Amino acid sequence: MVKRCRFEGCTKQAQDNTNFCKAHGGGPRCQHDGCTKSAASPSDFCANHGGGSRCQFEGCTKSAQGSSDFCKAHGGGRRCQFEGCTKSAQGKSNLCITHGGGPRCQFIGCTKSARSPSDFCIVHGGGHRCQFIGCTKSARSPSDFCIVHGGGHRCQFKSCTKSAIQPSDFCANHGGGPRCPNCIDWLDSRCGCKKYRGYCATCFKHLFPSDPLSTKLRIKSAEVAVGNYLKEIGFNFFIHDQPIHTNHCDCSHRRRIDYRHLIGNTMIAVEVDENQHKLYDQQNEDDRINDLYMVHSGKWLFIHTLQSRPIYY
């Protein structure tokens, strides 16, 4: 006679010489320190800690799924039966999450996937919620908070508290996210934008000046207003928003200046301090000035526009 699990309500078979099934503590347990899961034969560890059959894909350490020799990511286990799809089937269905497999959101009319430990999708309150008092947004792993309240991966730049943009460890201001291909190697590279073919707005305007989008860029910005004023008073010789470099310098930093003009050995630099540079990192600003001086070690005259009032130093 088959020995059944003694756990109340369980009808599974008890394992080995114990009175319980694997799910309720029967059979060999994982020997990893602190783990209570069942060991996966032929090892003394559970699948998460290296037990059981491993994926045979070169360099992969995940557990092989089902009767295959590969993990789900490399084609193991049951595959989605939707025509042309190669993803893994979810739950008791023959479809992946995208094509309707796995638990679905129970909100009326919603067809999205439910996020454990709930019966709803993220939009309708499923998954782990932000623990900040009064917040109803979704928590971002590996934390218990949403992005606004400090959840998810944070920017690793010193003293920055913004959210990191995957797959990087930095926010958009400090080099995270998709970068503009034209200035990606510059120290002050900017984030690319789909609207501008992957380029940042500034590079796009310089590279494609005749494009209809370029004529609409930053028309009402303070920087353009200052440029127009310089032209009105006859100062149309300033170089606008271009990286400064010289023939004797590798200029790996490629720092930009809003407007600049060299007279003799004196560099006149006009900086447009929109919002008074309140959000700028002071250390980064100091490094920027030092880098500029390394390229041109002559005299500098900085003119900062601040609330329509120039400041000289």
pLDDT digits (tens, 9 = 90+) for 73-118: 888 888 888 888 888 888 777 888 888 888 888 889 888 888 877 8
User: Which tens digits make up the pLDDT trace of 277-286?
Assistant: 555 566 767 7
Q: Return the pLDDT at 312.
A: 43
pLDDT one-digit tens code per residue, 54-80: 888 888 888 888 778 888 888 888 888
Is the Cβ–Cβ distance between 288 and 255 less than 8 Å? yes
Residue 289 has pLDDT above 80, yes or no: no
DSSP codes joined into one string, the chain: -PPBP-STT--SBPPTTSSS-GGGT-SPBP-STT--SBPPTTSSS-GGGT-SPBP-STT--SBP-TTSSS-GGGT-SPBP-STT--SBP-TTSSS-TTTT-SPBP-STT--SBP-TTSSS-TTTT-SPBP-STT--SBP-TTSSS-TTTT-SPBP-STT--SBPPTTSSS-GGGT-SSBPTTTTTSTT--B--GGGTTS-HHHHHHH-TTSHHHHHTTTTSHHHHHHHHHHHTT-TTPEEEEE---TT---SS--EEEEEEEETTEEEEEEE-GGGGTTS-HHHHHHHHHHHHHH--SEEEEEEEETTEEEE-
pLDDT tens for 162-173 read: 888 877 788 877
Side-chain-side CA neighbours of 65 within 13 Å: the count stands at 15
pLDDT value of position 274: 61
CB 28 within 8 A of CB 21: no
Q: Per residue in 175-212, pLDDT tens? A: 788 888 888 877 667 788 888 888 988 788 888 888 88
What pLDDT was estimated at residue 204?
A: 87
Q: What pLDDT does residue 192 have?
A: 84
Give the helix/strand (H/E) hosting 294: helix 282-295
| The two three-digit tokens of residue 210, written as one number | 């005749």
User: pLDDT digits over 220-230, tens only?
Assistant: 456 667 777 77
- pLDDT, greater one: 276 or 54: 54
